[in-house]
């Protein structure tokens, strides 16, 4: 379904010849490879964003530097999903087992409910990216969930992008779709969880985990009628995680969602911001201290590594965003700040 025929292949070649010197090419039923040199510098590559919508849905375009020239490859996507499914199942198992310990006694059903809530939040974020990327005809994988023995049983999920970014609008739309979808899912889960009564079984002395309150969490808690001295239901914890992850993703550095959004909004100037943010995180961590402060210092160091690599620009990097997208971008960053919890975890002894 949706195969390129040879007439279509040679029409694409004719279009490319208007913008590139083609010194070698290879054509078969599933791919086209053109070794080219641009006739008009960076301007030549803008034609690729016009070719992309004309391809069958299962085809994409990649640019690869080769010996000083460029390889333009138009090829059919591989649709293997086995690894995605295996990781999904493994992450459901790991989050279920972790969630089963939140009830004072081992509760497998309760753990599975926590897992569903958390996977809904994390999955919504990644599917927001995936669906919008597909709408822009960008090549992307399904989400890869990452099982890991952390406090929530996972390191989240990622999707893998390949090929060209057509323009700033595509970069912005894909970048902003994940956080906005994820925060909507998190708010829904958080509100439902905060409405549920919860009291774990506690025997003797021990420690209880205390969660920090972000401005958005406090607002949802007020709307849900949640009492601040009450235990939080594991479902609500999944929503809290969603808000926290949203802030992390919206840090405007490198390949994080915030980095994509800012790159689309202000172009190459985003690289300057990307180099400043890590130092702000480290300074915040030093000021906060304790476990949470150590976390922000760690993230400052991680984002400093991200900032060393300039964000790859879209093929059409000259056409600015429209006013509507600028407004959505500003609103998204404001929502991200509303999810910020400086001292997000602490422990208290139970007697």
For the cut 50, the answer to whether the pLDDT of residue 1 exceeds it is no
Domains contained in the chain, CATH given: 6-76 (3.30.1360), 82-350 (no CATH)
* Interatomic CA distance for residues 281 and 7, integer angstroms: 55
Sorted by sequence, the CB contacts under 8 Å of residue 69 that are 6+ apart come out as 23, 35, 36, 37
* Interatomic CA distance for residues 318 and 49, integer angstroms: 13
- Residue 209: CB atoms within 10 Å: 12
Instruction: Note the pLDDT of residue 139.
Output: 80
* Interatomic CA distance for residues 258 and 266, integer angstroms: 12
- Residue 198: CB atoms within 10 Å: 17
Better-predicted residue by pLDDT, 215 or 56: 215
User: Looking at residues 170-192, what average pLDDT do you find?
Assistant: 96
Mean pLDDT, the chain, integer: 87
List the end-to-end C-alpha distance of the chain, in Å, as a whole number.
66
Instruction: Note the pLDDT of residue 208.
Output: 64
For the cut 70, the answer to whether the pLDDT of residue 202 exceeds it is no
User: Looking at residues 95-108, what average pLDDT do you find?
Assistant: 90
Instruction: Note the pLDDT of residue 259.
Output: 93
User: Looking at residues 115-128, what average pLDDT do you find?
Assistant: 95
Instruction: Note the pLDDT of residue 172.
Output: 96
- Residue 281: CB atoms within 10 Å: 21
* Interatomic CA distance for residues 144 and 29, integer angstroms: 29
- Per-residue pLDDT tens digits for 280-329: 999 999 998 888 888 899 999 999 988 888 787 888 888 899 999 999 99
For the cut 70, the answer to whether the pLDDT of residue 207 exceeds it is no
Give the C-alpha distances (Å, rounded to integers) separating 300 from 173, 202, 279, 344.
Answer: 26, 37, 6, 16
Give the C-alpha distances (Å, rounded to integers) separating 43 from 101, 316, 318.
Answer: 57, 8, 10
For the cut 70, the answer to whether the pLDDT of residue 219 exceeds it is yes
Phi/psi at 311 (nearest 5 deg)?
-65, 130
Residue 246 class from Cβ within 10 Å (0-12 exposed, 13-18 middle, 19+ buried)?
buried
10 pLDDT tier (thresholds 50, 70, 90): confident
* Interatomic CA distance for residues 60 and 31, integer angstroms: 10
Token code pair at residue 337:
């700040």
User: Looking at residues 102-114, what average pLDDT do you find?
Assistant: 91
- Residue 193: CB atoms within 10 Å: 24
* Interatomic CA distance for residues 317 and 60, integer angstroms: 19
Cβ atoms of 194 and 220 closer than 8 Å: yes
Cβ atoms of 56 and 3 closer than 8 Å: yes
Q: Characterize 23-35 residue by residue with b for buried, 16 or more Cβ atoms within 10 angstroms of its Cβ, and e for exposed.
A: eeeeeeeeebbbb
For the cut 60, the answer to whether the pLDDT of residue 204 exceeds it is no
* Interatomic CA distance for residues 325 and 88, integer angstroms: 33
Q: What does 130-190 look like in DSSP terms, one character per residue? A: HHHHHHTT-EEPPPEEEE--SSSSEEEEE--EES---BHHHHHHHHHHHHHHHHHHHHHHH
How many residues are recorded in the chain?
351
Instruction: Note the pLDDT of residue 151.
Output: 85
Question: 294: helix, coil or strand?
Answer: helix
Show the CA angle centred on residue 195, arms to residues 194 and 196, nearest 5°: 90
Instruction: Note the pLDDT of residue 113.
Output: 96
162 pLDDT tier (thresholds 50, 70, 90): confident
Better-predicted residue by pLDDT, 54 or 180: 180
Sorted by sequence, the CB contacts under 8 Å of residue 105 that are 6+ apart come out as 201
* Interatomic CA distance for residues 50 and 316, integer angstroms: 10
């Amino acid at each position: 379904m949706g195969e390129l025929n040879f007439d279509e292949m040679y029409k694409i070649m004719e279009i490319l010849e208007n913008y590139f010197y083609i010194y070698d090419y290879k054509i078969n039923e599933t791919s086209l490879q053109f070794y080219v040199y641009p006739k008009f510098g960076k301007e030549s590559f803008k034609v690729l964003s016009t070719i992309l919508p004309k391809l069958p849905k299962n085809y994409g375009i990649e640019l690869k530097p080769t010996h000083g020239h460029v390889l333009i490859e138009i090829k059919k996507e591989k649709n293997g999903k086995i690894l995605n499914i295996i990781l999904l199942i493994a992450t459901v198992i790991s989050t279920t087992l972790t969630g089963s310990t939140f009830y004072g006694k081992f509760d497998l059903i309760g753990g599975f409910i926590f897992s569903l809530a958390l996977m809904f939040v994390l999955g919504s974020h990644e599917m927001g990216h995936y669906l919008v990327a597909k709408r822009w005809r960008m090549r992307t994988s399904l989400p890869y969930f990452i099982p890991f023995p952390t406090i929530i049983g996972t390191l989240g999920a990622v999707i893998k992008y390949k090929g060209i970014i057509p323009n700033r609008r595509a970069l912005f739309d894909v970048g902003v779709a994940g956080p906005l979808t994820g925060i909507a899912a998190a708010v829904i889960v958080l509100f439902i969880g905060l409405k549920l009564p919860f009291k774990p079984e506690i025997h003797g002395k021990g420690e209880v985990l205390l969660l920090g309150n972000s401005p958005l969490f406090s607002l949802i808690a007020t709307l849900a009628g949640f009492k601040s001295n009450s235990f939080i239901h594991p479902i609500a914890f999944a929503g809290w995680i969603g808000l926290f992850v949203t802030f992390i993703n919206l840090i405007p550095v490198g390949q994080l969602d915030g980095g994509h959004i800012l790159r689309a909004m202000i172009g190459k100037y985003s690289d300057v911001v990307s180099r400043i943010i890590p130092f702000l995180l480290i300074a915040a961590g030093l000021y906060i201290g304790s476990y949470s402060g150590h976390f922000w210092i760690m993230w400052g160091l991680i984002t400093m590594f991200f900032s060393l690599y300039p964000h790859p620009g879209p093929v059409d990097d000259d056409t600015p965003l429209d006013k509507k997208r600028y407004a959505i971008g500003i609103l998204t960053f404001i929502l991200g700040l509303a999810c910020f919890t400086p001292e997000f975890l602490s422990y208290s002894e139970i007697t």
